Every structure is written in C-alpha cells, then in structure tokens.
C-alpha cells in the first residue's frame, strides 16, 4: 500500500535499532576515534523518524571505508527504509541490494525488496524475492502471505491475458462480416466480451423466474440478430449499438 512502511517485522524492530544502539553505546566502549565511523548519528536520526537526516548521516556511514560490515548493513537498512517512506523506490531497492550483497541470508530483506519490486510493478522479481525469503525462513508469515497473494494475482492476470482483445466467440471459425469486424477491433471485441458476460450474469440471476430468464435471453438473441442484419447498412454504427446494449444490460444488472 502506497505510503506504508515496507519492513514491519522483528528484524527491523530489534536487529536494526537494538543491536545498532548496543554497538554504538555499549557500556565501557571506547569513543570512536574517527567520528565518521561513529554509528550514533545514524541511529539517532532513524530513531527520531527523521528520514532526510537518516538518508544523509547513514549515507556518510555507508560511504566510509572504515565502517564495520555489521554497521554498514544496519545503516543500509535504515536508509532503505527512509528511501521507501519517501517513495524513492529505486534507491530503496539499491540499498537492499547492498544489504544482500553483504549478507545474503536475511529473509526479511528479501521480503522487503520483494514488496518494493511489487510496488514498482515488476511482479516476477517480487515473486522471486518472496520465494527466496521463504526458502531462507519457511515459516516467514509476511513472505508467505505476499507470495500467495502475488501468485493469485499473476494467475488472474494470466486468465485475463488469455481473453485480452478477444470477443466472446471464436474468431478463427466465424464467417459473419459483423463478427469479423469485431475480431479486427480490440475495442469492439472488448464490448462483445463484456456484453456476453453481463448477459450471462443477468440471465443466471433470473433463473428463479424461468419466464424472466427466457425473456432476457431472447432480448440478447434479438440484439445479435439485429446486429448481424444491420451491419454494413447506411447509418448503422456498430460501436454505438454495442455500447447501448451494454448500458442496457448494466442497468438490468444494477436493479
């Protein structure tokens, strides 16, 4: 969902802040000799939910060659979350890429990056990342939910693509000029498919009243017959006729 944080799991809640703060402020720790390597400013900015400052100070920590690997991972996660909240999706993905190069065993980050790919519209990459998160942690509830919902979405899209730009009848076998014209036009094919689908629904909904159901089907049969007879005649507008029929069926459906 747009504007919602991507990482909502224990890894972000504990590993990022608790381990990071402990690394920065452990009792008896020596003050960092090089302030550029001190993770405290990055921790403070992220804890304050200051995304702009998080991106700035955590970025400095990431760029510093002396930064410890564990601190670099945490800083990348913090900056990735801030970039996501600012809708800087490509930058957030790049940050999680960096995390996974340093530690490819983080299921939470695969899931978080998968959500970003999904938001970006790249479903195959999203599904791959969700699958990798589940492989690393078979009991990962968020990744499992994401994988299931995306797989169902892809299944629905596949079914839609199978009939995309196709009418309700078989274009390969039709011989009627009006149906050939419909097959040649994606716009008209869409109208025909919708007319057929809505008509089927209104007839099915009326099956408790058989005379009513038969009357509705006769109206559809009459429309198809008129369409075939009138097509090619002067003044006949096939698109307008189909739109009017669809509007009529939609009105019946909404009663």
Q: Are residues 54 and 78 in contact, defined by beta-carbon separation less than 8 angstroms?
A: yes
User: For residue 16, is it within any domain?
Assistant: yes
What pLDDT does 178 receive?
94
What pLDDT does 166 receive?
83
The number of domains in the chain is 2
What pLDDT does 42 receive?
92
In this structure, are 145 and 196 located in the same domain? no
What pLDDT does 133 receive?
94
Q: Which portions of the chain are predicted below pLDDT 50?
A: 1-6, 8-35
User: For residue 1, is it within any domain?
Assistant: no
User: For residue 56, is it within any domain?
Assistant: yes
Q: What CATH number does residue 143 fall under?
A: 1.25.40.10
Q: Residue 30 — left, alpha, or beta (φ > 0 → left; ψ -120 to 50 → alpha)?
A: beta
What pLDDT does 78 receive?
95
In this structure, are 78 and 43 located in the same domain? yes
User: For residue 46, is it within any domain?
Assistant: yes
What pLDDT does 81 receive?
94
In this structure, are 116 and 190 located in the same domain? no
In this structure, are 141 and 222 located in the same domain? no
Domain boundary at 161, 190, 213, which? Answer: 161
**Overall pTM > 0.85:** no
In this structure, are 151 and 75 located in the same domain? yes
In this structure, are 70 and 107 located in the same domain? yes
Cα separation of the two ends of the chain: 34
Domain boundary at 135, 161, 187, which? Answer: 161
| C-alpha to C-alpha distances, 194 to 79, 189, 230, nearest whole angstrom | 47, 9, 21
- Could you tell me the residue range of the domain that residue 111 belongs to? 10-161
User: For residue 80, is it within any domain?
Assistant: yes
Q: What is the torsion angle, in degrees rounded to the nearest 10, for the CA atoms of residue 120, residue 121, residue 125 and residue 129?
A: 60
DSSP string, the chain: -TTS-S--SHIIIIIIIIIHHHHHH-TTPPPPSSGGG--HHHHHHHHTT-HHHHHHHHHHHHH-TTS-HHHHHHHHHHHHHHHHHTT-HHHHHHHHHHHHHH-TT-HHHHHHHHHHHHHHT-HHHHHHHHHHHHHH-TT-HHHHHHHHHHHHHHHHHHHHHHHTT--SS-TTT---HHHHHHHT-HHHHHHHHHHHHHHHHHHHHTTTSHHHHHHHHHHHHHHHHHHHHHTTSTT--HHHHHHHHHHHHHHHHT-
Report the distance separating Cα 136 and Cα 133, nearest Å. Answer: 5
In this structure, are 225 and 138 located in the same domain? no
Report the distance separating Cα 112 and Cα 95, nearest Å. Answer: 11
User: For residue 217, is it within any domain?
Assistant: yes
User: Residue 81's CB: how many other CB atoms inside 10 A?
Assistant: 24
In this structure, are 107 and 182 located in the same domain? no
In this structure, are 149 and 198 located in the same domain? no
User: For residue 146, is it within any domain?
Assistant: yes
User: For residue 5, is it within any domain?
Assistant: no
Q: What is the CA radius of gyration of the chain?
A: 29
């Amino acid at each position: 969902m747009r504007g919602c944080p991507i990482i909502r799991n224990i890894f972000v809640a504990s590993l990022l802040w608790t381990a990071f703060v402990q690394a920065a402020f452990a009792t008896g720790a020596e003050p960092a000799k090089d302030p550029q390597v001190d993770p405290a400013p990055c921790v403070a900015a992220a804890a304050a939910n200051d995304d702009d400052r998080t991106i700035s100070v955590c970025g400095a920590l990431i760029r510093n060659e002396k930064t410890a690997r564990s601190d670099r991972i945490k800083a990348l996660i913090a900056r990735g979350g801030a970039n996501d909240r600012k809708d800087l999706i490509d930058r957030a993905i790049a940050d999680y890429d960096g995390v996974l190069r340093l530690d490819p065993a983080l299921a939470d980050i695969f899931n978080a990056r998968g959500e970003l790919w999904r938001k970006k519209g790249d479903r195959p990459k999203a599904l791959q990342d969700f699958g990798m998160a589940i492989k690393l942690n078979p009991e990962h509830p968020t990744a499992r939910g994401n994988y299931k919902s995306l797989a169902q979405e892809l299944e629905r899209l596949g079914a839609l693509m199978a009939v995309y730009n196709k009418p309700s009848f078989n274009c390969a076998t039709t011989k009627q000029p009006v149906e050939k014209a419909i097959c040649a036009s994606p716009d008209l094919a869409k109208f025909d498919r919708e007319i057929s689908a809505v008509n089927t629904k209104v007839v099915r909904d009326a099956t408790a009243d058989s005379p009513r159901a038969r009357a509705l089907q006769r109206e559809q049969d009459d429309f198809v017959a008129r369409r075939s007879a009138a097509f090619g005649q002067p003044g006949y507008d096939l698109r307008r006729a189909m739109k009017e029929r669809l509007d009529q069926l939609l009105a019946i459906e909404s009663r």
